[in-house]
Chains A and B, each alone.
Chain A
Amino acid sequence: MSRPHLTAGFLPLLDSVLLVLAHEMGFAEEEGFSLGLTRESSWANIRDRTALGHFDIALVLAPMPIAANLGLTPIANPMITPVMTGLGNNAITVSADLWSAMADAGAPGDLLAGPAGKALAQVVRTGPRKLRFGVVHQTSSHNYELRYWLAASGIVPDRDVEIVVLPPPLLPEALGAGSLDGYCVGEPWNSVGVTKHGARIATTKSSIWQWSPDKAIGMRADWAERNPEVVASVIRATYRAALWCQKPENRLEAARIMAAPAYLNQPVEIVSRALTGQIHGGVQQVSIPDFFIPHDGAANFPWKSHALWYYSQMVRWGEIAAGPANAELAAATFRPDLYRAAMASMDVPVPAEDYRREGDQAKAHAIAAYNGALELGPNQFFDGAVFDPADLDSYIAAQMSAD
């Protein structure tokens, strides 16, 4: 049999690092397939071209395949997510003007979500005009995370601040031109804002919700069903790339690869910030070792509880009606069963459960695993809330009554 060749779509984001490493470092080849990477210009194109089969697989925003299965997208082709491409890796950046108002309101510049949110809330209450924030797509971790941070800081999204959508590479410029006051985006576009447009990083995803999901590999369900062996190879190649990228000694090499014109086309110095966890917020450099977690803490495992958290936020912000059928569709999008099956040949530990609670662990902790011991990282939300997938309805109800 000839070696399968997969076409894969991606956007210029550091989150595409595992896909790129699978190609550049030969992990795809080791798993018996080759990858043709196509850089796209919008998430809408990624979504449509994956749904139509122009791409076999794509780097997707983790909520995108869920949105497709819930009927929120134009092309009704069922999608699945069998592997995640790491945890964390984005941040919220504000303009120099907004930062100076936040600093006056007591923001310390330590990149922690609590104090930064409190200062922003004061600016929003007393400021002369409605602020405008940008996110990369409606059904994105960025949108939900920004809204979570605002709401938990006492700011009502849409009513108190406007939220608009722009693709990642255009956000820094829009902020520099004054058409945005802030944005939530993956790296390197926060650091680009800081170095090129005098912006300041207000807080990071790792502080809003520790060790939380962001991007994934998405694909059509029918394609995956027809090609189970290839899907298993994609999962393992992603896992191998993640394992390699997790090692501190490989981070600079990964930054060099990603900095190339074909991928990010940015200086290595900018790209390496997120990869080394040395985040320069514009005020000071802060060391955030868990800014991006490619592999540790079962970072590549598609937790059904994460799918349900995204679903809860889709309900919260009025994108979808609450109901057991929709919750089931959302949970079924993530495929831990395929992940475990693919990993069986690698002899590595995998989580035994498909669901877990979030927000209840302040420290690294052991979980039930097959084939060895497995430790997950801390998982706290900055407001101290706990998400229990077994009690989904009351989580949603509590959030919606607070909004």
Chain B
Amino acid sequence: MQRPDLSILIIDENRIRASIIEEGLREAGYDRVAVIHDVNEVGRTIALTTPDVVFIDLENPKRDTLEHFFSLSRAIQRPIAMFVDRSDGAMIEKAVEAGVSAYVVDGLKKERVKPILDMAISRFNAFSRLTRELEEARSALEERKIIDQAKGIIMKTKGLDEPEAYALLRKTAMNQNRRLVDIAQSLITAANLLGP
């Protein structure tokens, strides 16, 4: 068990992702976690919480601002450098791929920081996966609506029942080597053009 007494600051414009990471850290026993959504608040927050580790998402255009702030030594008591150890290339690579960058105060032992970095990286990855799945679910729902609408048009104009209408759409898609939803969309477009 780690001694969970390190202070951690999360900077993320994405509030949901920030709270997912915060929750993960709290579950792991880190109680001193602060979250801000705007780099402009960083000065005040750092003065209040004196973080040992700072996370920022890589989409954040104000990363340069944050680094410059860190480089002004008078702004903070101990210098903060990016990542725990310059030699730990694999860790840096994993973090950047996950879309997060970490800054750690000088002199902090690698063993103490690693579980925190691992946690942030895995939560960042989990969030990306979640976003992707949500996007897929959303587009699947959209596609089903389109197919349903096309089925309705076929049922009405050709007097078919629902399974027959669906079979016709499917057959046409297979014959033309196109996706079912594309055939359905073409049908809707054509019906709109020709319709009353």
Residues of B within 8 A of A283 (CB): none
Does B62 lie at the interface of the complex (its beta carbon under 8 Å from any beta carbon of A)?
A: yes
- Contact digits for B70-93, partner A, Cβ 8 Å, 1 yes 0 no: 010000000001110010010011
Among A36-71, those with CB < 8 Å from B are: 41-45, 48-49, 52, 54
A293 to B96 CA separation, bound complex (whole angstroms):
35
The answer to whether B64 touches A52, judged by C-beta atoms less than 8 angstroms apart, is no
* From A41, A165, A170, contact of B68 by CB (8 A): A165
Which DSSP category, helix, strand, loop or mixed, fits chain A's interface?
Answer: loop
Are B82 and A74 neighbours in the complex by a CB distance under 8 Å?
yes
Q: Which residue of B lies closest to A46 (CB)?
A: B64
Query: Is B135 interfacial (CB 8 A cutoff)?
Result: no
Point out the residues of chain B lying under 8 angstroms from A45, CB to CB: 58, 63
Q: Is the CB of B61 within 8 A of A42?
A: yes
Q: When the two chains form the complex, which single residue of B62, B81, B92 contacts A42, counting CB atoms closer than 8 Å?
A: B62
Contact mask for chain A residues 108-128; partner B; CB cutoff 8 A; 1 contact, 0 none? 000000000000000000000
A138-B65 contact in complex given A42-B60, A75-B92, C-beta closer than 8 Å: no
Q: Is the CB of B61 within 8 A of A48?
A: no
Within 8 A of A (CB), among B44-78: 58-65, 67-69, 71
Contacting pair B63 A44 (CB below 8 A) = yes
Most chain-B Cβ atoms within 10 A of its Cβ — which of A48, A138, A169, A170? Answer: A48
Q: Quick check: B59 and A41 within 8 Å, CB to CB? A: yes
Instruction: Scan residues 2-25 of chain B and give those whose CB is less than 8 A from a CB of chain A.
Output: none
The total number of A-B Cβ pairs within 8 Å is 59
In the complex, are the beta carbons of A48 and B64 less than 8 A apart? no
Is the CB–CB distance between B61 and A138 below 8 Å? no
A52/B96 contact (C-beta < 8 A), A74-B86, A164-B68, A165-B67 known: yes
Is there contact, CB below 8 Å, between A166 and B62?
yes
Is the beta-carbon distance between A54 and B96 smaller than 8 angstroms? yes
- Are A167 and B86 also in contact (CB < 8 A) when A52-B92, A74-B81 are? no
Q: Which residue of A lies closest to B81 (CB)?
A: A74
A76 within 8 A of B: yes
**Least distance between A140 CB and chain B CB atoms (Å):** 9
| Residue of B with least CB distance to A136 | B64
Q: How far is the CB of A337 from chain B (nearest CB, A)?
A: 28
The contact of A167 among B62, B82, B83, B96, by CB within 8 Å, is B62
**B93:A52 contact, CB within 8 angstroms:** yes
* Contact present for B61 and A167 (CB under 8 Å): yes
Considering the complex, which residues of chain B in the window 139-182 have a beta carbon less than 8 Å from any beta carbon of chain A?
none
Contact for B61 among A52, A74, A169, CB less than 8 A:
A169
Q: Is A273 part of the binding interface, using a Cβ–Cβ cutoff of 8 Å?
A: no
Q: Which residues of B contact A138 (CB under 8 A)?
A: 64, 67-68, 71
Which residue of chain B has the shortest Cβ distance to A48 in the bound complex? B96
**Interface positions of A (Cβ within 8 A of B):** 41-45, 48-49, 52, 54, 74-76, 136-138, 164-167, 169-170
Residue pairs across A and B with Cβ atoms less than 8 A apart, 7 shown, are A48-B92, A74-B81, A136-B64, A137-B68, A164-B65, A165-B68, A169-B61
| A-B complex: 7 closest residue pairs judged by Cβ atoms | A74-B82, A165-B68, A44-B63, A41-B61, A42-B63, A167-B61, A165-B64
